[in-house]
């Protein structure tokens, strides 16, 4: 399977028609933009979590669910909110802050480096995305969250697009060097 993906990537990067190349470039940059927005959201959520203590969260949940639970004690959504509030502890808050801030900041740095076309950042970003995939799949085994699967699929697409972009940038730089090198 890995060989077929590598061969497909190699076929696309060698002598791709300009329209296909432009679509790949656009896809890469749109993917970077989406991941950048998501990373910024993670950083903001991590900062916001600093102000959401378990007590504040439970008071907010009580306010939201106020009359709803008394009217319908079997309301699935309201009961899940109440359960979440009861399970939200200081350690959950601290872990959430650390995870969201570190995850978001690492992604933002990698995305900025890719946007600036820093050649060394491409392999680094692939390793970072692989690390996120491994962590997300480990978390999936305990949470069964479909969001983790979707994030993992986006990371896989970004890895493929990053490999393609890396090969393109590397080939362009080699061509520039060859064009500017003195003839021997």
Q: Which residues of 24-39 are buried (b: 16+ CB within 10 A; e: fewer)?
A: beebbeebbeebbebb
Residue 34 is classified by DSSP as H
Question: For position 12, what pLDDT does the model report?
Answer: 47
Assess if residue 134 is contained within a domain: yes
Looking at 126-135, 151-160, 175-184, which range is the least confident one? 175-184
Assess if residue 184 is contained within a domain: no
Query: What domain range includes position 8?
Result: 2-173
Assess if residue 17 is contained within a domain: yes
d(CA 122, CA 110): 8
Question: For position 91, what pLDDT does the model report?
Answer: 83
Assess if residue 178 is contained within a domain: no
Question: Could you tell me the pLDDT band of residue 44, with boundaries at 50, 70 and 90?
Answer: very high
Average pLDDT over residues 109-128: 92
Looking at 1-5, 36-40, 44-48, 65-69, which range is the least confident one? 1-5
C-alpha distances (whole Å) from 42 to each of 130, 143, 182 are 18, 19, 49
Question: For position 64, what pLDDT does the model report?
Answer: 84
Assess if residue 181 is contained within a domain: no
Q: Which residues of 90-110 are buried (b: 16+ CB within 10 A; e: fewer)?
A: eeebeebbeebbebbebbbeb
Maximum CA pair distance of the chain?
A: 87
C-alpha distances (whole Å) from 107 to each of 34, 75, 146, 174 are 11, 38, 21, 28
Residue 49: is it exposed, middle or buried by C-beta count within 10 angstroms (0-12/13-18/19+)? buried
Kindly tell me if the per-residue pLDDT of 60 is higher than 50: yes
Q: How many domains, in total, are found in the chain?
A: 1
Assess if residue 183 is contained within a domain: no
Question: pLDDT for 141-171, tens place per residue?
Answer: 988 888 789 889 988 998 998 999 899 899 9
- The average confidence (pLDDT) of the chain is 84
Kindly tell me if the per-residue pLDDT of 56 is higher than 50: yes
pTM of the model: 0.68
């Amino acid at each position: 399977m890995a060989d077929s993906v590598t061969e497909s990537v190699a076929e696309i990067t060698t002598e791709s028609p300009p329209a296909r190349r432009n679509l790949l470039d656009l896809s890469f940059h749109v993917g970077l933009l989406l991941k950048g927005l998501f990373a910024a959201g993670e950083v903001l959520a991590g900062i916001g979590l600093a102000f959401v203590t378990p007590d504040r969260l439970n008071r907010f949940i009580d306010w939201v669910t106020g009359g709803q639970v008394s009217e319908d004690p079997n309301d699935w959504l309201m009961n899940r909110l109440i359960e979440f509030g009861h399970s939200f502890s200081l350690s959950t808050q601290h872990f959430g802050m650390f995870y969201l801030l570190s995850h978001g900041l690492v992604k933002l740095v990698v995305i900025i480096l890719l946007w600036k076309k820093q050649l060394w950042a491409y392999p680094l970003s692939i390793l970072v995305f692989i690390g996120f995939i491994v962590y997300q799949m480990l978390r999936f085994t305990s949470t069964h969250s479909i969001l983790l699967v979707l994030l993992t699929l986006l990371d896989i697409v970004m890895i493929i697009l990053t490999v393609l972009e890396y090969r393109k940038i590397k080939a362009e730089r080699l061509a520039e060097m060859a064009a500017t090198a003195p003839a021997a």
